[in-house]
Structure 1
Amino acid sequence: MEFWAGAVEKLVSSLMNYEHLSQYYRGKKVFLTGHTGFKGSWLLYWLHLLGAEVKGYALAPVHENDLYNCINGGSLCSSVIANIMDRERLAKEITSFQPDFIFHLAAQPLVRLSYEIPSETFAVNAVGTAHVLDAVRLLPNPCATVLITTDKVYENKEWHFPYREVDQLGGYDPYSASKACAELLIGSYRNSFFNPAAYDSHQKAIASARAGNVIGGGDWAKDRIIPDIVRALQSDDVITVRNPKSVRPWQHVLEPLSGYLHLGAKLIDNPVKYSRSYNFGPFAEDNLTVQELAEQAIAYWGSGRYETPVLTEQPHEAGLLKLDISLAMNELHWKPKYDARTAIAKTLEWYKTFTNAPTEIAAQTKETILAYAK
């Protein structure tokens, strides 16, 4: 009987195309932290298209051209502009909303900035996560919670083997270490307060998602390779490639977001089984160097040039990073849809439209999501 039950579950899951996620999210209350950020804005729009009732909690957008402003994000949700470090305000907003789902994306997301504000990075990324989970403890209703960390939570040994969810956590730089702390914290809360074995009593499903090196339209952050490339291409400047040989698991923003949504749905199907950590990344052959990424971007844009300056002193960044996504593929039956070159093309397409026809960017963002979902 167990064999047939597993076979049926796998068949049903494999048949559940992402466009059918609306069966899980339509009419449901979703609390989304970081909804004004790059990934958060894409997820906000997707949840809106799925028919969810979204309440966002985040700081105000940083740049005028951020995706949140481009899609008029304030019209897609009930937006609360506040700090994740305001524990009482966060708890009040979550408990009054009584969400069916929580997606926690709010973070200090930049490696190089973490060297400038290390204590704030640890506070936001680790303690901020604890604030979310403290609020979950106060909820009287069932809730599926997906907390987003990063692919950089692993103790990076600069080897060619992809990191698995059971590998040692660590982090050289403050950003990576702060996210590893968040993972340890999530595990502690799950064991102590939301133990899957006692789900019937607390009815809270807690999972973490590890993904990084996400590219896509609407990201204007400083010291990120795609925004740096686009700014150079728009102004016909030389692109500065700091670490040309560094290998990263590049993926279009919709890839991990589809994983988060799928994981949230699976937490409804079987909260005990899926309350754990999952990697979301590209296939192994789609791990490109920074130089290859720059060359692909220039080729798609149709112009541009890059240089690799000699840097005598710069903050440490990992040189080699790969993720093993077999657990997400085998248990969640999720897999990437775009190869690296398609991800780069889709990303540059967004920025080209923004450059040439900015009034059309909201419609293009919507069509990009719908096309991916189908």
Structure 2
Amino acid sequence: MKGALSDCRALVTGASGFVGTWLTQHLLEQGAELTSILSELNPRSPFAKMGLDKEIRCYYGSIADYHLIERAITDERINTVFHLAAVSMQDLAYQIPWQTFETNVKGTYNLLEVCRIHKDQISKIIIASSDKVYGDSPILPYDEEMPIQGRNPYDASKSCSDLISQSYRHSFSLPIVIGRFGNIYGGGDLNFRRLVPGTIQRLYGKLQPVIRISSDGTYMRDFLYIKDLVQAYMAMYHYEGHQAGEHVFNFGTGKLWEIQKVTSLIQHTMNLDYIEPHYEVQNGREILHQHLSPERAKAILHWSADTPLEEGIRQTVDWYERYWLPEPHTATTGVV
């Protein structure tokens, strides 16, 4: 039986990451033929344990390597690009800013330059951006018409990548669509410095969950469940306005959650005795409140986040209980 995406020959950069794994699995289930550029393969990752590296063509090297990108796109006759590869952690971006810019900025313009040179074979380019591109705006929620103004290393790198993508679309008529996402959570996230997986790990280890707080107030975020995110990518893929229509979309739930309430919800979902959190005061590097308006995506793409936070947390806890927690792990600090 012919799959719904059997005509899709896609390059998925960052396929072995948290989001990339979910998207890769979905695209394969729909019959797509996939290729990825990977810096390395972590044998402990869900991507490797599920054997996804055996189901797609993998080119190993840097996403900033122009010639490697060109070889993958031409040899595999790629017609669709999902660009997810990025340094995605704020603290790492502060520690190694040059690597963040090398991956997030150079990786993007080299990829798009290859697509420009071979534009006759590329029909769709979908770029993963972030709510961080809006910077520390006092106006909430963010909508797509607000200026891009990221300032710290990670935010600035995503702002540059976003603007470069818009430039290639405007200047060279590349079929680019950009998705800006809020905080993403779900099973399979191996970065235990993030709030949701870090809290689950620590609670199963009978350790205090760690909550970061700011001297300026309480951190608040919009949390988007991974399955809703995958559907956002598919909505952009099926969008008919790649060439002439709107090309930037926010994807979020439209709701703000205090970090403390998310931690409490995880504790309640896990049915464990209450453990008092440990609070860490931060130095103001992170934006206090971030909140995306998803109204354009709803109106044009007919997309909405269908998973309530309570249900998404329940599915996430179930995932780690089935797949991850039987193995011993060293507890680490959970952050936003």
* TM-score greater than 0.5 by the shorter chain: yes
8 Å Cα contact 1:206-1:275 kept in structure 2? no
Stretch deviating more after TM superposition (114-123 or 30-39): 114-123
**Percent of aligned pairs with the same amino acid:** 25
Equivalence for 2:253: 282
Match of 1:208 among 165, 178, 202: 178
Is the 1:158–1:321 Cα contact (8 Å) retained in structure 2?
no
In 2, distance between residues paired with 1:310 and 1:32?
Answer: 37
SS of 1:40's partner is helix
Q: 2:135, 2:325 → 1: CA distance?
A: 43
Q: Pick closer, same or farther for the CA change 1:272–1:291 going to 2, 3 Å.
A: same
- Aligned equivalents of 1:45, 1:74: Cα separation in 2: 11
Mapping of 1:132-211 within 5 angstroms? 132-139=111-118, 140-159=120-139, 161-194=140-173, 204-211=174-181
**Structure 2 counterpart of 1:340:** 309
2 CA distance for matches of 1:61 and 1:233?
Answer: 29
Cα pair distance change 1:145/1:342, threshold 3 Å = same
> Which residue of structure 2 lines up, in the alignment, with residue 251 of structure 1?
224
CA distance in 1, matches of 2:318, 2:104: 32
In structure 2, what residue type is equivalent to 1:151?
D
Say whether 1:352 aligns with 2:311. no
For residue 76 of structure 2, what is the aligned residue in structure 1? 97
The aligned counterpart of 1:270 is: 241
- 1:117 aligned partner: 96
CA distance in 2, matches of 1:192, 1:211: 25
> Alpha carbons of 1:124 and 1:294: their partners in 2 closer, same or farther (altered >3 Å)?
same
- The AA in structure 2 aligned to 1:338 is T
What is residue 330 of structure 2 aligned with on the other side? none
Q: Please tell me whether the aligned partners of residues 115 and 315 of structure 1 are also in contact (alpha carbons under 8 angstroms).
A: no
Q: CA deviation at 1:187?
A: 1.2
What secondary structure, in the 3-state scheme, does the structure 2 residue paired with 1:351 have? helix
Task: Tell me the TM-score normalized by structure 1.
Answer: 0.81
Aligned partners of 2:63 and 2:107 also within 8 Å = yes
CA contact (8 A) 2:135 2:155 kept: no
Residue type of the alignment partner of 1:300: T
- Pairwise CA distance, 1:357: 6.6
Residue 275 (structure 1) shift: 5.5
Moved over 6 A (4+): none
Query: Which range moves more in the overlay, 237-246 or 118-127?
Result: 237-246
Give the superposition deviation at 1:355: 4.1
Query: Is this contact kept in 2: 1:162–1:322, CA < 8 A?
Result: yes
Specify which of 283, 292, 297 is matched with residue 314 of structure 1.
Answer: 283
Contact persistence 2:127–2:178 (CA under 8 A)? yes
Compute the TM-score of the two structures, normalised by the length of structure 2.
0.90
* Residue matched to 1:79: 58
Letter in 1 for 2:109: A
SS at match of 1:279: strand
How many residue pairs get aligned? The number is: 321
Counterpart Cα distance in 1 of 2:213 and 2:98: 26
Aligned residue number for residue 9 of structure 2: 29
Q: Distance in 2 between matches of 1:355 and 1:38?
A: 14
> Which SS does the other structure have where 1:251 is aligned?
strand
Instruction: Work out the CA distance in 1 between the residues paired with 2:200 and 2:47.
Output: 18
- Structure 1 residue 170 displacement after superposition: 1.2
- 1:59 lines up with 2:32 in the alignment: no
The residue aligned with 2:196 is 226
CA offsets 1:131-182 (integer angstroms, 9 cap, x no match): 11011012232420001011111032244x2001110111232111110111
In the TM superposition, what is the alpha-carbon distance from 1:315 to its structure 2 partner?
5.5
**Residue 81 of structure 1: how far off its partner (Å):** 2.2
Q: How far apart are the structure 1 equivalents of 2:67 and 2:61?
A: 11
* Residues 127 and 314 of structure 1: CA distance in aligned 2, closer, same or farther (over 3 Å): same
Structure 2: runs of 5 or more not aligned: 328-336
Q: Which has the higher helix share?
A: 1
Contact 2:175–2:243 (8 Å) recurs in 1: yes
Q: CA RMSD in A?
A: 2.0
Distance 2:184 2:245 in 1: 24
Question: Contact 1:36 / 1:59 at 8 angstroms: preserved in 2?
Answer: no
* Alpha-carbon contact 1:66-1:220 (below 8 Å) kept: yes
Q: What is the DSSP-based 3-state SS (H/G/I as helix, E as strand, rest coil) of the residue aligned with 2:175?
A: strand
2:93 and 2:220 map into 1 onto residues whose CA distance is 21
- Residue 207 of structure 1: CA displacement? 1.0
